[in-house]
Amino acid sequence: MFHPLLQFLCLLGNGMAPTSKVRVQLFVCCLVLFVLAQGYILRRLSVEPKALTTSSSHDDVIPHLRGGLAAVTSPVSELNDEAIENQARDATARPSEGPWHVGVPSISQAATSSPLLNEHDQVETTPTTPTSSQTSSPTSRNPTAAVGAFVPHPDVGVDDVQRSRMLAIRSAMQHAWSGYETHAFGADEVGPVSGDRKQDVWGGLGVTLVDALDTLYIMGMARARDWVEMELDFTHLGKDGDNISVFEITIRELGGLLSAYDLSGDDAFRARAVELGDLLLPAFANGIFYTQFNVFKQTKTMNGWTGYRGLLADLGTLQLELRRLSDVTGNPIYAERGDAFYDIVQREGSYEHTGLFPVHFEVESGTFSMTNSLITIGALGDSFYEYLLKVWLYSGQRQSDAFLRDLYNDAVQGIETSLLRYSKPDDAYYLQEVTIPGFSGQPKQDHLLCFVPGMLALGTLTDTDPARVVKHLDMAKKLMKTCYNLYSRQPTGLAPDIVTFPGFAVADSRYRLRPETVESLMYLYRVTKDPMYQDWGWQIFKAIEKHAKTSFGYGAVLNVDSAAASHVEDKMESFFLAETLKYHYLLQSAPSFVPLDKFVFNTEAHPFRTLASCYPVDWVDLTGITRLTVNSKAQRRAVELSMQFPNRLKIPLVLVLVALFVGLQIYIVSRLDISPTAGPSFDAFSRPRRWKPSPSPIVVTEKSAAANFAPRQKFIPLPHEGVDETQIARQDAIRRAMQHAWSGYETRAFGADEVAPVSGERRQNVWGGIGVTLVDSLDTLYIMGMHDEFQRARDWVANELEFSHLGRDGDTISVFEVIIRELGGLLSAYDLSQDNLFKAKAVELADLLLPAYEDQVFYTKLNVFTKRKSMNHWTHYRAFLADVGTLQLEMRYLSDITGNSEYAEKVSSPSIVLLDSPFLLQAVGVRVRDLHLVVEFMDLGDLQTHLLLHVKRASWPSKLKWARAAARALAHLHGVHVLHRHVKSRHILLHSSGRAVLAGLGNAVSTLAASTTTSPPSSTPHGASFRWMAPEVVASRAPYTAAADVFSLGVVLWELDSLLTPYAREQAQFGWGDVHLMRQIQARRVTLAFSTECPGGVVRVALQCLSADPTRRPTAAQVVDMLSQQDIATAFDTVPTLYH
């Protein structure tokens, strides 16, 4: 077919003209090539998900640190155990290997160096020269990969005893690692007794090495990183006919790689994780991952010993690793595959509504086995329940994942009701195993069950129900005591694998180096701070040293119930290095070391950064402005992912061919890039959505929007059309004012950012030296018909405006101000004049600003030259809703006039149903002719005005309905970690239907990250009125919290009673100015008194809200409950009328 093309090239080479026949053949050949190329382009556009950002935009934004610092450790104190003491001393004498690289200070050197921490917090560092291999791309769940390296400082905040114990545990890790490194480096395991190299236990993937990576890093040792980059290979998998265990490889190998990446920021680990994750994807089918998989043959099955049924623990313990892999790559496929099992779980429901699930899963029917199965929290089911909690914690406790927390709470209730039993002779609580059907209990407990106390303790850290916290923590302590007694009751001090009750009778006498007990001790210590748990762990560690230690590592002890010499198996599981020793080390360290609010441990003890810890700033979804309609919870996750990975648009081949012949192929390709697909109830691009109905709905359809966004004629201003002589005179006066202002600027500071109106001084670089006043005035000049002035300004833009100098002086620009003033001015000038010069400049500026985008928001401050970005320090590096929510019109419009969807995608991704509440003011559409946002119309106006105008009409039932609506809105905001910060009666809007909504979200901030850390005092929100502020906020003595919002709500309740502006009476009586009144409020010398006509129930609620002590104020949800009491509007019993 391509012979005419070759013939044509030969003719050209000889200087000869082709014949007409050759020309015809050449034309046909080129046409076929063109059609094939267009088909390929369209196919790529329809199947490749578009990541939100390209790799180049992040190369110098989130640098990854290759390396780290040695652990800071101090000399060893005395120990009771002489052998352990000697080992600890030896450890201090040997140089410490730096994590991943050589040349790191030894322990003793690091101990005498300058302090690296001001307090007990961990330090995350970034290098001065970023790596170029970083290619992270955000997803809707987590727009961030690892943020710099975690630098281990394990002995900060510990005493001499703990430090000595940590050194001994580190010495044990060095002994185990030395045996492996010397005799089996790169193999799956080493024989701890024989020193044999066990190459292919788990597939020949160096499982012990990879599983131990994060333990080595945390302890400040190891040379394993280079092997991972240079030697780790997956290409041999399955060629010998063997299957791999998808479960074990995911939690050990994939989890180890991801954790090493999260701790070190080294992209070599992420690259290997992606490679392995892609190899495991074909093991997925029918909503689950099959347990046994041959990578080479692509065959998959379940274990034969289970009757080829799936196991609950196998199917439900991949989600954390797969979500993290999606989050560090920007590819949602891994998370989608893992989360598919959660859809099955929700569909099937628990066994007889107990909150618990059978451990067997029927693959063919896609249902849980209701016959010949078990219900247990031990082997076969354990980590499923663990991951319900941990996946929710990892996700940042998102509302879309709240079903996981609900499933966890239901499961714990089921554990307490159906599995928790008490052995009176042993004074011990244990968790039985139940067979189904029949629900017959077996009084036995596996060592594996000893993870439960730690899980329960971890769950209490984020539980909002105080009674449940007490109950769960009490259950954790009781079960923890039983698990410790598994060890203390044996002659060796080591636990058997299985016991039965009563009597702690040994059913399996092996101690398999398992970590579950010390894992729970670590969580219990960090939650309760009780050193008893550290002491228990130390006793267990000494028993391990005495009985399990061998020449080449540590082996499983076969007879823990025998006082005779221990028999040790030639088997050292990789989890001994990955879990057991790591948890022992963390148990003796300070809670601030690898803190639980920043990391979640997978079931193999690999710590992953939580999404909340990955956000360098707080951010707020802009759903109050751009809201999505989601039909069900099941669709929400698909919506989140689809916002950045849009649905594919399929075009039949025949239409493509027709388009080629009529010259529309360019139009199709461009529209594929920016137009939404039909069907879904969301839109990830630049088109307005079809909003839910409101009392006064204005619905803008995608069809009408597309028509209005089409290129149109130049706008010709006719300012005097349709106005009378008075209006004309006023217009002329305003035009003269504009001419006066422009004349001063043009004469004194033309091309500068500003002119000083009094001195006439030229202020060149206020906003970056980009002629902001000139560009900001372009559309005003055009609209007012100042044609000469507009033309001179246009020429300056064409010949003088440039952005290449930005950031070279080290200064940052305000992204918010530059977008609304400079970019908005250029876009508006283009829209009015249709002069392509303005569009070209707008595109140039926008491309420079795109690196300011990250984590679903534009950072407020950006150095265009260095690409460094941050938030304003005076906001304590938090994002304001007004800043991140006031760029959408400019960026969407830029996408529409350029055909480049990237600008619109940057501002579309936050549009998830976060603030979707009927008690918050909702947007209903966009007026496309001028890009104005349209919100629902509340015809009675705001509450303050309504009370003043209709004093006698408002009854207490109506008032309470409005108050409840405001309280429900606050409860919703606080539930999704958003502080309103400007609650007042002017921001409560009313409708004649009786509905009330809360507006005024311009000062709202998120507390996703700040809620778990100590922040400096929050500054007063701009525009907020001190009359509604809590005293601690007025005094700036404490961070702004949800309790401050509740105080403001209490002031609104007082307004409902008094019908006055707060403190207006006192201000008029004493003649106080605002500053003096603020001081009186701060000193609490002025109070709000309630009238005797106010219902007593309302007064009681208000007094609690207005408490001087923020900790004594109720939550917004509690206020809703109190205001919902049936007799609150009719009870007039005597109550205090002043808050105190």
Positions at the binding site for Ca(2+): 603
- The residue with tokens 């063109």 is 34
- Between CA 424 and CA 418 the distance in angstroms is 18
Find, among 1052, 1056, 1077, the residue nearest to 1065 by Cα: 1077
**DSSP β-ladder status, 853-854 and 857-858:** antiparallel
Strands (E), 345-497: 360-362, 367-368, 373-375, 420-423, 428-431, 433-436, 440-442, 444-446
Looking at residue 821, the DSSP 8-state letter turns out to be I
- Between CA 752 and CA 748 the distance in angstroms is 9
What separation in angstroms does the CA of 314 have from each of 81, 97, 311, 381, 842? 40, 36, 5, 8, 53
- Between CA 202 and CA 187 the distance in angstroms is 9
Tokens representing 667 are 């139009």
What separation in angstroms does the CA of 1114 have from each of 390, 1111, 1118? 29, 8, 6
Q: What is the largest CA-CA distance in the chain?
A: 111
Determine whether 516 is an active site residue: yes
Determine whether 225 is an active site residue: no
Determine whether 189 is an active site residue: no
Given 252, 323, 687, 892, the catalytic residue: 252
- Angle ∠(153,534,594) on CA atoms, nearest 5: 30
**Secondary structure, 3-state, 625-657:** CCCCCCCCHHHHHHHHHHCCCCCCCCCCHHHHH
Per DSSP, the residues of 402-436 read HHHHHHHHHHHHHIIIIIEEEEGGGTEEEE-EEEE
- Between CA 49 and CA 421 the distance in angstroms is 51
Tokens representing 944 are 């303050």
Burial of 1118 (0-12, 13-18, 19+ CB in 10 A): middle
**Secondary structure, 3-state, 548-603:** CEECCEECCECCCCCCCCCCECCCCCHHHHHHHHHHHHHHHCCCCCCCCCCEEECC
- Those residues with Cβ within 8 angstroms of residue 655's Cβ, 6 or more apart along the chain or in another chain: none
Given 253, 386, 516, 822, the catalytic residue: 516
- Those residues with Cβ within 8 angstroms of residue 772's Cβ, 6 or more apart along the chain or in another chain: 753, 754, 766, 817, 818, 821, 822
Peptide bond into 496 cis (omega under 30): no
- Between CA 674 and CA 689 the distance in angstroms is 14
- Angle ∠(153,159,163) on CA atoms, nearest 5: 55
What is the torsion angle, in degrees rounded to the nearest 10, for the CA atoms of residue 954, residue 956, residue 960 and residue 961? -50
What is the torsion angle, in degrees rounded to the nearest 10, for the CA atoms of residue 344, residue 349, residue 351 and residue 356? 80
Q: H or E element: which one contains 798?
A: helix 787-799
What separation in angstroms does the CA of 323 have from each of 134, 320, 328, 394? 19, 5, 9, 9
Q: H or E element: which one contains 970?
A: helix 956-975
- Between CA 76 and CA 217 the distance in angstroms is 21
Given 59, 155, 189, 248, the catalytic residue: 248
**CB atoms near residue 546 (< 10 Å):** 16
Given 181, 214, 339, 382, the catalytic residue: 382
Strands (E), 991-1088: 996-998, 1005-1006
- Between CA 453 and CA 517 the distance in angstroms is 9
**DSSP β-ladder status, 197-198 and 189-190:** antiparallel
- The residue with tokens 């305000």 is 814
Determine whether 252 is an active site residue: yes
**Secondary structure, 3-state, 702-747:** HHHHHHHCCCCCCCCCCCCCCCCHHHHHHHHHHHHHHHHHHHHHHH
> Where is the binding site, in residues?
603
- Residues labelled as active-site residues: 248, 252, 382, 516
